[in-house]
Structure 1
């Protein structure tokens, strides 16, 4: 039984520690994940600011290139005839070389189209532009109004230019074209330069790709940064087929504007759409490419619309999305380390707790054993005292008879009556104690009767129908229960004068239970009704008392599933009523 109790205690401690460890683990996990999200958002904000600065710088640089193209257009116009038919391709090649252009093309407007009519590069000629949206719209505005008003590209006096883009005439080249027309010629001048000769060096030095590369290098937790075009993402690269049958890729409508996109997940399209449509941050915690990662999609509004980022209809974007991928291993490593520390602490605390519990239980057991031994010794003393009293009465019986005979012969009637009355009372009292029916209770009552006689306390006894007492309670526990109640009653009545010192104990059998009552004089009986009488340590007595008597009584009654009540049925008398199931 004792071993099972120890096992139960150990299992309970293990369960509590396990629950505590689990709660702490997941709380720490949530905290670390929140911290990682905040770090990712902070990095994303820094990247956003840096990207905007870099992008704005790149746009400003492109505008400078646009002004260079316009200047080159004006210079070429002064060198060429105003009639396109009088301009040769050789002239255009020579001027293009002097102006450091990749080439110069002249556009001619026909009744139903605008075509590339003359060029310094032969394969540029002959292309129709009516399918080049929104370029064709800009060409018409420039021919008709000498200015371009579409919300796209860079417009200057008599001039317009779009962004760097793949060339229809050479799908492998990224170029920027300028278009100039002031009405003094019958053609539009189109000088163009390559991305490699102008913009690439700038982007390599200060562009977004360099910024992303440096950010990834400085933040080891980040695995990938992607700048996403939310309008074309998921549709693949935007391409068209040229008049020559070549596939033309549209750089300005590329789903991936900057960065790389190797950590692909099935929910990416939905997450990008949600971030863009609702303008909210979206997180994804998943295993991608065999690695546990956290992805965040953060929408970024574009204040100044640009021609280098377009939707699938060729209109400038209002917003793009930054995607950051962070390695979850940093969190897991921290969790593993903390978990190891927690386990070590728990093991140490558990061992120390079990050692402390062992000593506490050992001390408690020794204390209980000591109390039990003392109670057993008291019980044996009381039983022996009862038997000794019975033997004494029998031993003195002859002396009593001789005394009665002598008093009768002498004719001392009054003395004889007094002597026999005293003798009869003593015998009746002993018979009442013996007739209780339970040796343990009888011995206790006999001992308490002697104590009451010494203390000059009127000790009344009233036991009925208990000749066949078969309590489920151990005799030792019964003597402890009644003994503590009687002792408490004696302690209380000793506060008063001899004529007020009354203690009454009664016992009887009821249907299904036995009832015991202990009553005593108490001039402050009414005040006890709201006192915690059964609480360990509580006492209404003056110093020197532990306050454990009634607590022990309550514990014994509870152990045997009985009940104990305090009753104040008459003035200045307090009664404890105990009911114990049969």
Structure 2
């Protein structure tokens, strides 16, 4: 497996790892978003249900105010009917027949008339247009009712906490009929001492129900459930806890009265769950709102129970469509999923294209380095071939110099010949191809320019370089050495032109030092030499003043450092780059 393939696989693995991490983050974000959104939507639904319950509570209170007004009107009418009946009936109860009461009820437009009298310690219905009222005992009725009857018969006005009191008259609140529990009736009781019985005309709740249907709680509930579908309410039930929880006797002992012996006072109760009684009981005990998610006919609903403490305890039961929350969640999840998939596809394309671009750049850089390397190796081989080709000439020259005993010339000739050969051999020992190529190039230039160029590159076999970093390293070394060559070439010296390159790994840094014995750089210019276009050399058309600026820019890119130290003996540039 070649290096290029291995690098590509490594990059693909890295890209896959990044995408996997991104996917995990997105999934976690999606999960948090889902639960947050679900909680928020559920909370909003609960708030709407609470608002409905508040409206229902207000409606019940207003309804009770209206009910009291309507009840009082009915009570006044019943008193009028009682007075009219008194003028029509014999004051002796024994001389009044049930048939007569039936006829009189029709004429006075009341449902029934009952005549009541004392029987021992009880007060009973003695004569009545309704056979079920005859001999009906009232002793076991609520203490307000029985107490009011006794007060009337004692020719005093009724003085009890409930009901409507008028002269010689008392009317109890709407309540379930004892003789016929299917009705909720309104009774009136009149006695002024001129008869031996209490006149008791009463009517069913027909008028009251008509009032409730048009202006009462049921009409409000009807509007909320059927005509205002945006609030999510599917059913509203006003529970009558004593009956719903089978605790009527307990509530009677506590002095509560209620409209009727029915479980639901207002609204409807068709969407039932086995847990309803448990939650109504808990709400009554804790006086706190409770709710749960119920599945009815394959659909989810939020069932909420809210306590209301009016003149009597009630619980508002609300059933809301939870499918709206689920549908909203699914819609948002779908939108989010589309966004995630779209983003992932775009991200994958961007990553793929970026990898392609990076690989192309790296390949171009590698090819550039390889071209330089191959070019310089070819130059090295050509030099070696030239040396081999000229070997016989060198041998002949050396032989002639020996023959003529020109030993001084012989020494000079052999030193030059050996130095060139040694330089070419040493360059092969550098184990970084990019650096080897550039140093090879600089060696050849140094030989041509009569510069003594030395290089000491140590332990670079531990250096791991990418293609781009290798390119930057070539630029650094090339520009520093070229700058040193220029410095010694313009020093005015005829000989002893020396440039030295040192490379090493030190404290996890790649360090290059380039030393030359050219003219020193004035201290006031040492901070300016890295500026673009600045040069200390006379304008020759070759010096652009960009070499050291390029070096400084590359070093800053890798968060490295560059220092210059110059005196009469030598000028030293040191570059350190973290690796």
TM range (shorter): 0.7 to 0.9
Instruction: Summarize the alignment of residues 115-514 of structure 1 with structure 2, pairs less than 5 Å apart.
Output: 115-134=124-143, 135-143=145-153, 146-182=156-192, 186-196=196-206, 198-220=207-229, 221-230=232-241, 232-235=243-246, 251-252=259-260, 254-273=262-281, 275=283, 280-302=288-310, 316-317=311-312, 319-400=313-394, 403=397, 418-436=412-430, 442-450=436-444, 460-463=454-457, 480=471, 482-487=473-478, 489-490=480-481, 504-507=501-504
Residues 128, 457 of structure 1: CA spacing in aligned structure 2 closer, same or farther, 3 A cutoff?
farther
User: How far, CA to CA, are the matches of 1:385 and 1:44 in structure 2?
Assistant: 95
Matched, 1:58 2:58: no
CA RMSD in angstroms comes to 4.9
How far is 1:257 from its partner?
A: 0.9
User: How far, CA to CA, are the matches of 1:321 and 1:359 in structure 2?
Assistant: 65
Relative to structure 2, which stretch is displaced further, 269-278 or 569-578? 569-578
With normalisation by structure 2, the TM-score equals 0.72
How far is 1:138 from its partner?
A: 3.6
Residues 18, 526 of structure 1: CA spacing in aligned structure 2 closer, same or farther, 3 A cutoff?
farther
Aligned residue number for residue 558 of structure 1: none
With normalisation by structure 1, the TM-score equals 0.72
Q: Contact between 1:503 and 1:518, CA under 8 Å: does it hold in 2?
A: no
Q: Contact between 1:146 and 1:181, CA under 8 Å: does it hold in 2?
A: no
User: How far, CA to CA, are the matches of 1:448 and 1:168 in structure 2?
Assistant: 122
Aligned length: 528
Q: Which string of whole-angstrom CA distances, capped at 9 and with x for unpartnered residues, describes residues 453-504 of structure 1?
A: 789998542246x7xx976969989965753542464488699786799663
Say which SS state the counterpart of residue 202 (structure 2) adopts.
Answer: strand
Say which SS state the counterpart of residue 73 (structure 1) adopts.
Answer: helix
Structure 1: gaps of 5 or more residues: 241-248, 303-315, 528-539, 555-563
Residues 491, 420 of structure 1: CA spacing in aligned structure 2 closer, same or farther, 3 A cutoff?
closer
Structure 2: gaps of 5 or more residues: 1-5, 252-256, 492-496, 516-520, 528-544, 567-571
Higher helix proportion? 2
How far is 1:169 from its partner?
A: 2.3
Say which SS state the counterpart of residue 254 (structure 1) adopts.
Answer: coil
Residues 490, 35 of structure 1: CA spacing in aligned structure 2 closer, same or farther, 3 A cutoff?
farther
How far is 1:64 from its partner?
A: 0.9
Matched, 1:71 2:89: no
